[in-house]
Structures are given as C-alpha cells and as structure tokens.
Amino acid sequence: MPPLARVFAAIQKTVFILLGSAMFLGESSALPADETRDRVVAAIDKQAETSWQQALKIWEWAEPGYMESRSAKLLADAMQQAGAQVERGVAGIPTAFTATFGSGKPVIAILGEYDALPELAQEAVPFRKARLGGNGYGQACGHHVFGVASASAAIALGEEIKAGRLKGTVRFYGCPAEEGGAAKAFMVREGLFKDVDAALHWHPGSRNATGDSSCLARIAAKFRFHGTASHAAGAPEKGRSALDALLLTIHAVELMREHTPEGTRLHHTITSGGGAANVVPEFAEGFFYVRHPKAVTVSKLWPRLLKCAEAGALATETKLEVVPLGGTMEVLPNNALSQVTRKNLTALNDLAYTAEEKAFALRLGESFPDKAPPIEQIREIIDQSGRTTMGSTDVGDVSWVVPTTGFYVSTWVPGTPGHSWQAVACGGTTIARKGMVLAAKTMAATGLDLLQDPEILARAKAEHQERIKAVPFAPLLAPTQKPPLDYRLPGRKSGTAE
C-alpha cells in the first residue's frame, strides 16, 4: 500500500472507532427513550378497546357542531379519570375543553375533534343505508376517531408524566365545530395556546400521508332574507319573496365565480326556502363559503360575495340579515415537525385488512364514481410536502400562533371520498379502529420526541418565526365576533333585520 494510502486508511480507522464509540454512547443514552416509547405504545394498545367503544358512541351520537354535549363530556370525563386537570367550557364554548397533564416546559398541545355532518346518517354497511332514528347527522369526516385517538395519545403520555419518567406538559384540546364553526379560531383568540411550544393534530382519510402541506383559508356566513308573505296566486303583488332574493344571490355568486383568482372555491346551500308553494316566502336562508389558498385573497373576495347578497335584497325589496360564522386561516406548514411525524408513522404503520375487511372494501368500492385503488395503498405513506389540500380547517389559526404539524391515517377504504356516506360507513367498522390506533401511536411517539428533544422544538420555532416574518398573522375572524353556537340549527324567522 502506498504511504499516502496508509495515512488515509489510518485516519479512516480512527474515525470509525470514534464514530463507533459515539454511536454506542448515543444508544446507551437513548435507551430510556426507547423504553418509554415502548410503554407509550403498549399503553395505547392496552386501552384500544376502551377507546374504540368511546369512538363508537361518538359515531352513533353524531352530534352537530357546538352541540356535541355528550361527545365532549365523554372525552372530558375520560381525561379527568386518567388524572388530567380538566377545564370545561373554555373560550365561551360549552363543548370545548382542555385537559392537562404535568407542568412546566415544554408544553405540547394535542388537538381532538368530535362534530358530525348533516344529512349523512349511515349504517356501517358497504351500501347506502341511512341510519334511522337519529338526527340525520353522520361522522363523514371521521371526527369520532380523531378525538378519541388524540385523547388516547395524551393519556399515554400523561401516564409517563405522572410516573415521573417524563418532564413537561401535555395538554389535550377538545375542539368542537370544526365543520364550519371555527371553534379553534375562537380558542386561539382567547389565548388558550399562548404557552404552547408545539401543536399536533391528525385527520382520518383514505390514504396515509405526511408532509408540510397547507389548506384553503375560508370565510363562512349565512344570508337571511326577510320578505313579505302573501297568497301566491290571489295577491302576489302584495308579497316580496325572500326566496327570490336568495336565488338571485346564488345566481350572482355563480356569475362571480368566473371572475375570481385561480384556486377560489365558492359553495352554497339553501337551508330554508319557504314552506308552501302557494305562499310567497317570508323568510329564506342560505349558507355560503368563500375559500382560497391564501387568507389575504379570501379577505378580498368576501366583500364581493356580500355584494351579491345585497343585490339580491335590493332587487326583491327584501331585507338582508348577515350571520357571520367566522373565518379560518390556511395552515402554516412546519417542515421540522412534519419530518418527525413521517418518521413515526412510517415506523409504526402496521395496517392490514382481514378477509372480512377486504370483502367490505371491495363491496364499498363498487359505489365509487371512479375505479377503486388497490387495498394495498394502506401500506403506503405519501408525501404531501408543498401541496395545498382542497379543504379547510380551523387548525390553520393554531398554526399561525404555534408550530404545528399533522398527518393523515387511512381509516377509510382507499378511494373513499370525504364527507360521504361511504366515510360514515367505514367509520363504524374495524377498518376505522385500526387507523385510530395507528394515529394514536404516531401522535404519542411524536409528542414523546418533542418532549425529549429540545433541538426539534428549537428548529420548529425558528422555522415558524421565519414564516410569520414573511407574512404576519392577520386572522379572518372578526375581533368582536362570538362563537356561532346555533349555526347548525335550521333557518328561522327570529332576528328580523330592520
């Protein structure tokens, strides 16, 4: 061997020895963390059946936003029984609560939801069969397993804190009315996240996914029109149709759609339109959304949407009542945190269907508008980094005040559309149970990493500061707006505009 080569060989040998020693020392110091991780994962497995029974109750109750009294109580009571310090009715919202384990820094927030969606009641079968005898709502976004999995993760970490094996604070946030009610935005405004170092969330879906993705910002409102009733045939000239005003508003919004920035989404539905064809409707109500990947654009689109309603009222000589339902920001991504969730979801993903679950999936897939993707997708984890998902969440507001990360777990058959009866059906099966348990483990493992490694939090905070330095937080929620606790109630004639 040439002399120079012998020198390099000696250097490589020395470096190898030093690295080996460092790795050995690193493994020794990391051993308690591995033991803690094993205990946390085992705790989630141990309480899995209890968690599933809780999730099934919330699935069966399927309570509307801000009206989730039984669901919120179930989770809050479970957290209290586990030793958490529970504060109920936070931010002036009866069904919102926090449950805290431990004290001091760091403070890790774990978010959970439990509200359902209207007109999607469904039995846990792979064909359309409306669930009768309830309120007509269904867990079409999987919030029953969302809330329970997050609570399970918080309890597992809380056990380690109570035993003195883990330092810091884990706080579960019971968050109602994510579907259009913007509860987290009100909770942020009330300062409930001011001491938090990082926030974790997840969401049910048809794919496993991680990455620093964002979503659509949005403003929601109801437009109520008050007219004059009369006999539709005998005295139509004496009437002023509130329904006509609403229909004109909808038509104006449809015309507006063409002249909006790329990525804009406009939605509406009629929640009240009159009761009899031979009566000029005295009252009508519509529920409207305006969305875009950037909150600053939504804030410019909202006045244009409002003008559509004002025009409808002007043209029909009716009176317009605007019921603001709040606005939510796009999610501010955090790559430092998303890398941690990806590592844990990849390591823990053990999803596999039984023969019975495969049969359910194949039968359900027959109802999809497109060919169902292969069931084997449940073993994959896609990277959504840099993407904007075409939905909205009030997690967005949380992400602007504290570093936040989330992920998706397959709790539905691959190919299942969100907000569908198929999603509700999956939610009542063991397919959802398996996804729920995986999500709880991933959440707990990520929380453990953040509690034990201050460098991750430091990187996450530095990234967060850089992002908000470029675009400061300007919430879409009006400073004086109160939580719209009755937004899921049907349109009514009270509150007549004058």
17 is a domain residue: no
The pLDDT tens digits of the residues spanning 465-477 come to: 999 998 999 999 9
- pLDDT at residue 17, as a whole number: 33
Domain count, the chain: 2
Single residue among 288, 304, 328 that ends a domain in this structure: 328
Residues of the chain above pLDDT 90, percent: 91
**Residue whose structure tokens are 């994962």:** 41
Q: Enter the pTM of the model.
A: 0.91
Within this chain, do residues 96 and 85 fall inside the same structural domain, yes or no? yes
Bin 180: left if φ > 0, else alpha if -120 < ψ < 50, else beta: left
Q: Is residue 112 within 8 Å of residue 416, measured between CB atoms?
A: no
Residue 248's domain is classified under what CATH number?
3.30.70.360
One domain, residues 139 and 208: yes
Domain of 431?
A: 33-215+330-470
Residues 73 and 177 in one domain: yes
In angstroms, the CA 101 to CA 127 distance is 42
**Residue 30 pLDDT greater than 70, yes or no:** no
Average pLDDT over residues 283-312: 98
The predicted pLDDT at position 405 comes to 98
- Would you state the pLDDT for residue 65? 98
Q: Report the distance separating Cα 447 and Cα 452, nearest Å.
A: 9
Which pLDDT does position 175 carry in this prediction?
A: 98
**Residue labelled with tokens 């009206």:** 67
User: Please, what is the angle between helix 143-162 and helix 3-46, to 10°?
Assistant: 110
Distance CA 138, CA 136 (A): 7
Q: Per residue in 199-214, is it b (16+ CB within 10 Å) or e — as a string?
A: bbbbbbbbbbbbbbbb
Same domain, 398 and 427: yes
Measured CA to CA, the distance from residue 491 to residue 301 in angstroms comes to 25
104 and 135: one domain? yes
Q: What is the mean pLDDT of residues 71-94?
A: 98
Residue 142 contacts residue 411 (beta carbons within 8 Å):
yes
State residue 494's pLDDT score: 54
Residue 365 main-chain phi, psi, to 5 deg:
-60, -25
Write out pLDDT tens, residues 109-134: 999 999 999 999 999 999 999 999 99
304/310 Cα distance (integer angstroms)? 10
Residues 6 or more apart in contact with residue 40 via CB below 8 angstroms: 156, 157, 159, 160, 441, 444, 445, 448
Give the model confidence (pLDDT) of 249-267 as tens digits: 999 999 999 999 999 999 9
